[in-house]
């Protein structure tokens, strides 16, 4: 018998694995959250599976999303990244990861905890929704709007309310698995 999954999951093996093993599982590590936020920003205007299929290339191109290394990327490195066929070769998106790394470092070097900051928008614990259909799931919420504003104030970009909500779903800040999905009760 086949498992019941959320309706948005296609038949692609990479998508199935992402849904079953990654999406919606709470993540609390600051650097991992930084990486996920950067990847969500790369999705703007594209399908998530496009970024998912390029994730390993992004990890290699952006030093495993080490903000200390990324913040030092110069014009020469940016030009090299724009020639990398394994990532989305959009100057604004490439620059956003570098810019966000600098914002992340400024925030954490001031003694702040990036994970605690992000999780504060949901009160420190996942919001468990009870949607039976993908059509019920919002594209943004009050929490994602607040997160977006706060991140932009810190100098981040490609962090609009819709991107922030997709990020919140991906890292388990909200459980938006459909109630009949086998993953719903896992978290």
- Domains in the chain: ranges and CATH: 26-186 (1.10.340.30)
Q: What is the pLDDT of residues 85-140, one digit of tens each?
A: 999 999 999 999 999 999 999 999 999 999 999 999 999 999 999 999 889 999 99
Q: What is the dihedral of CA 121, 140, 162, 130, to 10 degrees?
A: 90
Categorize the per-residue pLDDT at 147 as very low, low, confident or very high, splitting at 50, 70 and 90: very high
Catalytic residue list contains 48:
yes
Q: pTM of this prediction?
A: 0.95
Question: Mean pLDDT of all residues in the chain?
Answer: 95
Q: At residue 186, does pLDDT exceed 90? A: no
What are the residue ranges of helices labelled H in the chain? 13-21, 30-42, 48-61, 67-70, 75-81, 91-109, 114-119, 142-153, 161-170
**Cα 130–133–139 angle (5° rounding)?**
80
Q: Which of 2, 23, 28, 48 is catalytic?
A: 48
Q: Which of 15, 23, 40, 165 is catalytic?
A: 40
Catalytic residue list contains 40:
yes
pLDDT of 1 reads 61
Closest CA to 58 of 10, 19, 101: 101
């Amino acid at each position: 018998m086949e498992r019941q999954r959320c309706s948005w999951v296609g038949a692609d093996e990479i998508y199935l694995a992402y849904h079953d093993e990654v999406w919606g599982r709470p993540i609390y590590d600051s650097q991992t959250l930084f990486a996920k936020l950067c990847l969500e920003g790369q999705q703007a205007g594209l399908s998530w599976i496009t970024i998912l299929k390029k994730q390993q290339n992004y990890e290699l191109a952006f030093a495993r999303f080490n903000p200390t290394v990324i913040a030092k990327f110069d014009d020469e490195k940016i030009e090299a990244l724009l020639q990398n066929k394994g990532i989305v070769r959009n100057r604004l998106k490439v620059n956003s990861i570098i810019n966000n790394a600098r914002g992340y470092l400024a925030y954490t070097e001031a003694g702040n905890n990036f994970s605690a900051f992000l999780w504060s928008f949901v009160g420190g614990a996942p919001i468990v929704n009870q949607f039976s259909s993908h059509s019920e799931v919002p594209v943004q919420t009050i929490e994602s709007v607040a997160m977006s504003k706060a991140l932009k104030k810190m100098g981040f970009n490609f962090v609009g309310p819709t991107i922030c909500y997709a990020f919140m779903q991906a890292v388990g800040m909200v459980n938006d698995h459909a109630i009949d999905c086998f993953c719903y009760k896992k978290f």
